Amino acid sequence: MLIKAFLTRKDKPENIVPFLFNPKELNVEKSNQFADVNIPGLSSPILQFVRGNARSLTMDLFFDTYEQGMDVRLYTDRITGCDSGSMFSQVPKGLMDIDSDLHAPPVCLFIWGTFLFQCIIERATKKFTMFLPEGMPVRATLNITLKEYADEEEQIKRISAQSSDITKRWTITQGDSLWTIASREYGNPGDWRLIANENGIDNPRLLTPGRELIIPRKE
């Protein structure tokens, strides 16, 4: 069988779990989290960015062992782990089982051709759709959700070189306010006073379009 897509542990890449049939489609979800920040005198709150959320990848995996006369759980259990009372209880742990050394499920790699996704398996739903007369399942669909995984060091490397620790300049345009500028530059609209003090602004509501502001470094 030509293996095109598979899952494996990041720390043990030689132990791959191949898919008998490749997914027909992948659903990728990415979201950001915002919080409402109420500013006195404004008719609506300022939306402040809180954090980004990890990408999620959802897909259906298909397994069919009818022609081989094998129990399809020999494949599905390698991902989800053995169900309670399963005849395969002696099979090595699945990718969703808690590793005794890590005290958590392992970090995995989903690989499909040149596409690589570092993840943990967040959720899985098994559906058995075909059985032999004696009750052995030989066909299954596994719907899984993979959550993107990046450790602290990897996330720090992704941070842009542009940050609030660098002095910048901002040209005021119609509709700008110190709150929105502070939110954009520092991630907190409450830091507008830093900009006001640096530029000698007594009334933060009176900003002249075209004026250039100095955005000071945030200590």
CB atoms near residue 77 (< 10 Å):
23
Could you give the CA distance from residue 85 to residue 170 in angstroms, rounded to a whole number?
65
> Tokens standing for 61?
């995996």
116-135: string of b/e by CB count within 10 Å (b at 16+)?
A: ebebbbbebebebeeeeeee
Please enumerate, as own/partner, the contacts of 21-25 that have beta carbons within 8 Å and a separation of 24 or more. 21/61, 21/62, 21/63, 21/64, 22/112, 23/59, 23/60, 23/61, 23/112, 24/60, 25/59
Token pair listed for 108: 């995995």
Q: Which tokens sit at 32?
A: 């950001």
Find where tokens 């979201």 sit: 31
The pLDDT profile of the chain, 219 residues, written as one tens digit per residue, is 456 788 988 888 778 888 877 788 888 898 888 888 887 777 888 887 777 888 899 999 988 999 999 999 888 999 998 875 555 555 668 899 998 888 899 999 998 877 888 899 999 999 999 999 999 999 999 999 999 987 766 665 555 434 555 568 899 988 788 877 887 788 777 788 899 999 999 888 788 888 999 998 876
Measured over the CA atoms of residue 1, residue 15, residue 87 and residue 131, the dihedral's sign is: negative
- Helix count and strand count (H, E) for the chain: 4, 11
Question: pTM, whole model, 2 decimals?
Answer: 0.63
Q: Which CATH entry fits the domain spanning 162-215: 3.10.350.10, 2.40.50.140, 3.30.565.10, 3.40.50.970?
A: 3.10.350.10
Which CATH class, in words, describes the domain spanning 5-157?
Answer: mainly beta
CB contact at 8 A, 191 and 180: no
Tokens at 125, concatenated? 């739903």
DSSP class per residue in 83-144: PTT-TTTTSPPPTTSPBTTTTBPPPEEEEETTEEEEEEEEEEEEEEEEE-TTS-EEEEEEEE
Q: How far apart are CA 103 and CA 54, in angstroms?
A: 22
Domain coordinates in residue numbering, the chain: 5-157, 162-215
